[in-house]
Structures are given as C-alpha cells and as structure tokens.
C-alpha cells in the first residue's frame, strides 16, 4: 500500500486515507479544502465535529426549527452568519455530513478555520 502524508501533521502513515472535505461559506465567498487524514487525526476531527456541528441525516425533518447558535462561541446567531459544511468519509462506503453555523466575528471564523485546517 502506498504511503501517503496526513494533511494535519504531514507525516507519512500506513493504511487507508480518510477523506474529509470542509467548506465554509461567508457571504458570497466559499472556502473549501480536502484533507487526507491518518486514523488518529480523523478521530480527532470527528470528535471536534460531533462536539460542535450537527450530523445531517438524509431523512431529517426540516420543518423542525433548528437552534441556531455559533459553533465557536455558542451565542445565538443573527442574520450575519457563516455556514460550515463538512463531509467526512471515515470508511470507503460510509459518508457523514455535518452542518453548523458560526457568527462572522474574526475570532469565531479564525477558530473554525483553525479547527478544520481551512
Ligand atoms: Zn495524521
Ligand atoms: Zn461566534
């Protein structure tokens, strides 16, 4: 099996690559990237995602009001917001979609970008 470097620590590792695609949408600007992660950094990323974002279920009932709080500072969000989408492929045929919103303060955007290595 080919050795591929992990996007987070640049260390080469053995084993399958785990792909994570984070994107952040601020106003009309979208920033997206693609990480190949070793299993250790995948676990770290999934733990952070589960703590801060919601898993999007295909069967989700969108008529339910969703509580809109900044995923970074946990303050209620107004009209000015950034949308954060992350698709993770922990295993070959498993896909998890995450969604969250963040306020557009420089501090919150910075911490979101840092956590996602965006
Ligand atoms: Zn790694
Ligand atoms: Zn915030």
pLDDT tens track for 45-98 = 999 999 999 999 876 665 655 668 999 999 999 888 999 999 999 987 789 999
CA of 32 to the centre of ligand 1 (A): 19
Q: For 113-118, what is the mean pLDDT?
A: 94
Return the pLDDT at 13: 82
Cα–Cα dist 81/69, whole Å: 10
Domain ranges of the chain: 18-57+68-115
CA of 39 to the centre of ligand 1 (A): 7
Q: Residue 38: which residues within 8 A CB-CB, separation 6 or more?
A: 6, 8, 9, 11, 13, 15, 18
Proximal ligand: closest to the CA of 12: 1
CA of 71 to the centre of ligand 2 (A): 7
CA of 37 to the centre of ligand 1 (A): 5
**β-bridge partners, 62:** none
CA of 93 to the centre of ligand 1 (A): 21
Return the pLDDT at 79: 84
Proximal ligand: closest to the CA of 84: 2
Return the pLDDT at 63: 62
Query: Do the Cβ atoms of 58 and 95 come closer than 8 Å?
Result: no
| pLDDT of residue 100 exceeding 80 | yes
Q: What is the pLDDT of residues 13-41, one digit of tens each?
A: 888 889 999 999 999 999 999 999 999 99
């Amino acid at each position: 099996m080919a050795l591929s470097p992990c996007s987070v620590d640049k260390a080469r590792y053995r084993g399958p690559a785990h792909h994570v695609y984070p994107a952040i949408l601020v106003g009309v600007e979208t920033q997206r990237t693609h990480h190949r992660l070793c299993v250790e950094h995948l676990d770290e990323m999934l733990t952070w995602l589960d703590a801060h974002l919601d898993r999007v279920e295909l069967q989700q009932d969108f008529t339910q009001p969703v509580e809109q709080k900044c995923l970074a500072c946990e303050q209620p969000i107004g009209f000015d917001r950034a949308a954060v989408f992350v698709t993770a492929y922990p295993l070959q045929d498993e896909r998890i979609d995450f969604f969250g919103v963040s306020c557009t303060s420089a501090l919150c955007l910075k911490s979101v970008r840092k956590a996602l290595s965006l």
